[in-house]
Homo-oligomer: A and B are copies of this chain.
Amino acid sequence: MNILIKNVAAFLPTGEVATKNIFIERNKIAGIYDALPVDFKVDTIIDGTGKFAVPGLINAHTHASMTLLRSYADDMALMPWLTEKIWPVEDKMTADDLYWGAMLAAIEMIKSGTTAFADMYGPFVDSIAKAVIDSGLRASLARGIVAVAPGAYEKLEDSVRLYNTYNNAENGRLTVMLSPHSLYTCPPEFLKKMADTASKIGAEIHTHMSETEVEVSDCLKNYGKRPFAHVESTGIFDNGTLAAHGVHLNDEDIEIIKKHNIRIVHNPGSNLKLASGIAPVTRLLNEGVTVALGTDGASSNNNLDMLEEMRLAALLGKVESKNPEAVPALTAIKMATENGAVAAGLKDVGKLEAGYKADITLYDMRGANWRPRFNPLSLLVYSANAGDTDTVIVDGKILMDNKNLMTIDEERVYFEVEKAVERLIG
């Protein structure tokens, strides 16, 4: 199917915003033009007047199915939150639960303009893959392995199966990484084994790194090294790594990040909510590190709204570096698009450019919060809310048209989620 988005304010890779016509041929952007070429065969025309087209937002670190635990346990210290609330319920989750949780996440992501996500969850990753297939979103999936729990090596084998089954499936909409949950839940010998496996099959790694001060001090105590140096010694960073959080970093950590081209995913909402700290994003960006954005799971955020993460990244970047010019709107948008694609290992994604995949979100600029319109980039980052999301296209397919979901039966999802939650928690 070919789509023409007519007369739309488009965010171009140069950072400029200009009124353009965007042509989509099958799953790719065919061209972005001032005029309407006469020879382009169009199946669907979308009127872009009063709308702002950006590359679909990329949620580069989340646990989608954790939407099932949204608002179940908040304003708590990390360990009682995990041990008394989150983990006991997660233990009871079935394959179906993970599917409906991921579908609930898909609704929320689409409705706020997210087109792709990098997920870390389990054990039933096939369910999450099915939700990605059904919803039409793009995703990098990973079975997060807590290797101190029983069956770690079987889980690693299952991860290889997932890789062989889903990596580059659905015309490339699905990709797969290997995922050690963290250095404090995975002993070094397991990390070494996973690094070997990743190298053998050519998979990249998705993991948590340096989220809390305790993680750093415990790592020093247990291994005599800071987290990045310790994990580096296992070989985990040798095949390409998406590292979520990166809150507590020093010079040595940043050298290792740069040496291995580790992509850091900043999760400002979650880092604040769990009182983990504020990541040194300005410094990382200045040092040329790829910094992307993620929401983390809905139970520590509590939403999957990337507009909020962009705003938080721009706002926190300023206060953290005591510089109101830090992390300007343009940078925040690039973190949520271009950098997100790099972090999640998605090829030809994250820019409105001919040849790139047609993952595009249109925001409605007609509301009061979008007026006056001196600078659409500022408006998107500092003023917009999820309710402004108008149209979402992934891989050339329209997932939301004029605020209407096209691929998901919302009421069915809500019904199934309620049923699941009733059973899990009551």
Contacts and interface: CB of A to CB of B under 8 A. Distances in A.
A348 to B, nearest CB: 29
Contacts of A414: 368, 371
Main secondary structure of the interface of A (DSSP, over half): helix
A49 to B, nearest CB: 14
B302 A382 contact: yes
Contacts of A278: 319
Interface residues of A, number: 71
B378 A68 contact: no
Interface stretch (A33-41, A125-133, A182-190, A266-274): A266-274
This chain's copy number in the assembly:
2
A385 B308 CA distance: 10
Given A71-B376, A275-B326, A386-B387, 11 more contacts: A70-B369, A71-B383, A104-B371, A272-B316, A273-B314, A301-B382, A305-B385, A312-B315, A368-B410, A368-B413, A387-B388
Interface of A: 67-68, 70-72, 74-78, 81, 104, 107-108, 111-112, 269, 271-278, 298, 301-305, 308, 311-312, 314-316, 318-319, 321-326, 328-329, 367-369, 371-376, 378-379, 382-383, 385-388, 410, 413-414, 417-418, 421, 425
Closest 3 CB pairs of A and B: A387-B387, A75-B328, A272-B315
12 contacts: A70-B369, A71-B372, A72-B374, A72-B375, A74-B378, A75-B328, A77-B324, A273-B315, A274-B318, A301-B383, A303-B385, A372-B417
